[in-house]
Structure 1
Amino acid sequence: MNYKDMFRMDGEVALVVGGGSGIGQAAAEALAAQGARVVVADLRLEGAEETASRIQAAGGQAEAVQLDLVDHSAVRHRINNILTRYARLDTAVSTPSINVRKPLLEYTDEEFDRVLSVNLKGTFHLLTEAGRAMAHQGSGSLIAFSSIRSLVVEPGQGVYAATKAGTVQMIRALAAELGPKGVRANAIGPGVIDTPLTAPIKNQPDWYNAYAAKSVFGRWGKPEEVAGAVVFLASKAASYITGTIIFVDGGWTAVDGRFTPPL
């Protein structure tokens, strides 16, 4: 192992879905900073273009594409297009998620289907299509975004939490199935991170501050603080790591936090 280059990805190709904002944008920029050519995909093409422009302005290599993870044929086409153009796909990152916050007893079938369609089925589309390509080439890193909600829940998060736990189990299955082909599969579980998905909470100070207090650092995380985990799992530094989840949660899942006893 050349430790000086263990995080470098020169000559590699990475696909980041959801790269138009938040954690996806930070992940795309971080991978590009390590030398990867990044295909920035997002449902909003303008968001993907903004991220690609930021990468290019910093001297990196990137292109922007529109992609809806729910559309399986579109995902397959995008993967095939990457293989046609670059003859390889080294890293695939799936970040998109949606949430409908309401009690389970009030959920409609339509809302249930919508959350599962994006969070679980969409992730399945990317992981399987990218995984098939990587298995053929004999190498690659699949990275899916789960959440602290794969372990702990709160009222109104039941369906979202189920999708995030399901994502971890899919990752574990892929690690077992594709490991012999040289492909690694891992998940990242963010805590509370300032992103467009969590933006509505900032408008409710009590809620926002309560979440901040649950972290041992007393604050929310930033997208760039999650990007390091993406780079790690995509790089040679994680060559013997597969089938696991890395929590980037400021200690949320480690510390009880309800009461600090006098010591």
Structure 2
Amino acid sequence: MDSPFVIEGKSIFVTGAASGIGRATALLCAKMGAMVTITDLNEEQLKATFESLEGDGHQMVIANLTNNDDLQRLIDTLPKLEGVVCNAGIIKTILAQFADKSDIERILNINTIAPIYLTKLLLENKKIKKEASIVYTSSMGGVYNGAIGNGLYGASKAALVGFVKSLALELAPRGIRVNTVHPGITETNIYNNTSITPEQLEQEKAHYPLKRFGKPEEIANAIVFLLSDASKWMTGSQLLIDGGCSLV
């Protein structure tokens, strides 16, 4: 019997593919026989991802998803897609009273407005095939819990959930599924430029029943599940992957 847990031959687009969850997702999609288009702003790291992709038919596009010219160039490059993974994002920890307007705008522009506007352009330019799957990387933070200094990031990720609920209804007549994944803390470089110290991260591990953070490959596994026909009756759903942290 053919397995529904396959994406072989599908054309998949992954944003934020230079590192972390996006890179792991792109590598897994290619390994499973998909044709992958990857994008990111970091040219050196994106090239490293691209050179590690198995198989043929892949392409990379350096693009700033908050820049309209870059977005249009990206859209023009894309083939018809069976899968979209909106993963690019940033994190910044800052107390609400110390947040400048520029902080608020930057986090929301990258984490919320950019993927929403990208989706609008993909649909407007008829780049998403019928019965395709769109996956957004949200977060446990802001949706399932709060944390001191995490308000802006949490708000930017929670907003995606509200968008997806309506988008899933809009695209259901075309069989296009739309879902979010919600990782707990994952071992990526996203925390490198934050005020969170390695010591604080080690302390945070104690709150996870499985006593460790997630790995990018584990989140990628869940994303590929949502891209595959194995999740064909899932839309508007939030898939929580947090090592049990939300239980305590």
TM-score normalised by structure 2 residue count: 0.92
Partner of 1:28: 26
Aligned counterpart in structure 2 of residue 96 of structure 1, from 79, 88, 98:
88
Aligned counterpart in structure 2 of residue 158 of structure 1, from 127, 151, 161:
151
| Alpha-carbon shift at residue 205 of structure 1 (Å) | 4.3
SS at match of 1:128: helix
1:100-249 to structure 2, matched below 5 A, reads 100-132=92-124, 137-149=129-141, 150-199=143-192, 204-249=197-242
With over 3 angstroms needed to count, the CA separation of the structure-2 counterparts of 1:213 and 1:5, relative to structure 1, is same
When you count helix as a share of all residues, which structure comes out higher? 1
| Alpha-carbon shift at residue 251 of structure 1 (Å) | 0.8
- Segments of 5+ residues of structure 2 without an aligned counterpart are none
Partner of 2:10: 12
| Alpha-carbon shift at residue 98 of structure 1 (Å) | 1.6
Question: Which structure has the larger Rg over C-alpha atoms?
Answer: 1
| Alpha-carbon shift at residue 133 of structure 1 (Å) | 5.2
SS at match of 1:243: coil
In the alignment, is the contact (CA less than 8 A) between 2:81 and 2:127 conserved in 1? no
More RCO (CA 8 Å, sep 6+): 2
In the alignment, is the contact (CA less than 8 A) between 2:122 and 2:128 conserved in 1? no
| Alpha-carbon shift at residue 69 of structure 1 (Å) | 1.4
In the alignment, is the contact (CA less than 8 A) between 1:89 and 1:133 conserved in 2? no
Matches of 1:77 and 1:183 in 2, distance apart? 24
With over 3 angstroms needed to count, the CA separation of the structure-2 counterparts of 1:81 and 1:165, relative to structure 1, is same
| Alpha-carbon shift at residue 109 of structure 1 (Å) | 0.7
With over 3 angstroms needed to count, the CA separation of the structure-2 counterparts of 1:98 and 1:201, relative to structure 1, is closer
- Give the fraction of aligned pairs with identical amino acids, expressed as a percent: 28
With over 3 angstroms needed to count, the CA separation of the structure-2 counterparts of 1:244 and 1:131, relative to structure 1, is farther
- Segments of 5+ residues of structure 1 without an aligned counterpart are 257-263
With over 3 angstroms needed to count, the CA separation of the structure-2 counterparts of 1:72 and 1:200, relative to structure 1, is closer
Deviations 1:151-176, CA, capped at 9 Å, x for gaps: 21111011111111101111111101
Matches of 2:148 and 2:116 in 1, distance apart? 26
With over 3 angstroms needed to count, the CA separation of the structure-2 counterparts of 1:54 and 1:202, relative to structure 1, is farther
In the alignment, is the contact (CA less than 8 A) between 1:135 and 1:181 conserved in 2? no
Structure 1 moving runs of 4+ over 6 Å: none
Q: Is 1:55 aligned to 2:53, yes or no? A: yes
Matches of 1:60 and 1:199 in 2, distance apart? 33
CA RMSD of aligned residues (A): 2.0
Deviations 1:35-91, CA, capped at 9 Å, x for gaps: 1100111111222211111113xx4542221121112443243233223xxxx2111
In the alignment, is the contact (CA less than 8 A) between 2:78 and 2:127 conserved in 1? no
Count of residue pairs the alignment pairs up = 247
